[in-house]
């Protein structure tokens, strides 16, 4: 009897998830996907839980292309919203956080499928390492731009800014912008 109850509960839960689209991409709209590290090598750090394998990433991009999604850039979002284009088309807004060196491999895959993304880079780690993984250097960032990718600031150091004072944030913004001009 207990097994039957657990089975019914499990089926009900799955039906709930399917009903509310937890496993499906929407037919129209803007889908936002966030990535960190795209690599087949484990770092033995917390980064591993935010890492997707290169082959899996390419399968995702291939699927999105096959399903008819078009990638968009940050400066297109407001236009799409204002003109309600999201009701007619499938858009994907791809973002990458931190600036891991393996993001350059992901950018090449994006280019292969006609997609672009925005890469939010922690400027203090340009050319260094974080979480036991190499970070993009200045030439890598220039290559991202050459591939048609956007660059954004993920702050200077990789800190929790919501815990900082407004004075700290003002100085931090100046520091980040100063380094972000490559």
Place of tokens 């050319």: 127
Look up the pTM and report it: 0.77
In a domain, 13, yes or no: no
Per the CB < 8 A criterion, the answer to whether 144 and 136 are in contact is yes
In a domain, 21, yes or no: no
More confident residue, 4 or 69: 69
**Domains in the chain: how many in total?**
1
Per the CB < 8 A criterion, the answer to whether 104 and 143 are in contact is yes
pLDDT tens string 71-122: 999 999 999 999 999 899 999 999 999 899 999 999 999 999 999 999 999 8
In a domain, 16, yes or no: no
In a domain, 88, yes or no: yes
Which pLDDT band, with edges at 50, 70 and 90, does 68 fall under? very high
In a domain, 11, yes or no: no
How far is CA 141 from each of CA 12, 81, 109, 134, rounded to the nearest angstrom?
Answer: 48, 29, 16, 13
177, pLDDT greater than 80: no
Which of these ranges, 93-97, 132-136, 156-160, has the smallest mean pLDDT? 156-160
In a domain, 23, yes or no: no
174, pLDDT greater than 90: no
Per the CB < 8 A criterion, the answer to whether 133 and 39 are in contact is yes
Which residue range is the domain that position 77 belongs to? 29-179
pLDDT tens string 17-36: 555 554 566 677 899 999 99
The pLDDT of residue 4: 57
Which pLDDT band, with edges at 50, 70 and 90, does 135 fall under? very high
In a domain, 142, yes or no: yes
In a domain, 24, yes or no: no
Looking at residue 172, which CATH number applies to its domain?
A: 3.20.20.370
């Amino acid at each position: 009897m207990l097994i039957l109850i657990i089975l019914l509960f499990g089926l009900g839960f799955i039906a709930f998830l399917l009903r509310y689209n937890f496993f499906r991409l929407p037919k129209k709209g803007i889908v936002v996907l966030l990535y960190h590290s795209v690599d087949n090598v484990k770092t033995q750090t917390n980064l591993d839980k935010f890492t997707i394998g290169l082959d899996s990433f390419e399968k995702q991009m291939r699927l999105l292309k096959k399903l008819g999604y078009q990638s968009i850039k940050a400066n297109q979002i407001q236009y799409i919203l204002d003109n309600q284009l999201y009701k007619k088309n499938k858009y994907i807004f791809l973002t990458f956080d931190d600036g891991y060196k393996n993001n350059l491999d992901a950018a090449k895959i994006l280019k292969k499928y006609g997609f672009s993304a925005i890469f939010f880079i922690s400027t203090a780690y340009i050319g260094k390492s974080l979480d036991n993984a190499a970070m993009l250097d200045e030439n890598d960032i220039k290559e991202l731009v050459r591939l048609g990718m956007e660059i954004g600031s993920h702050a200077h150091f990789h800190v929790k800014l919501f815990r900082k004072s407004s004075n700290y944030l003002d100085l931090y913004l100046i520091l980040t912008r100063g380094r972000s001009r490559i």
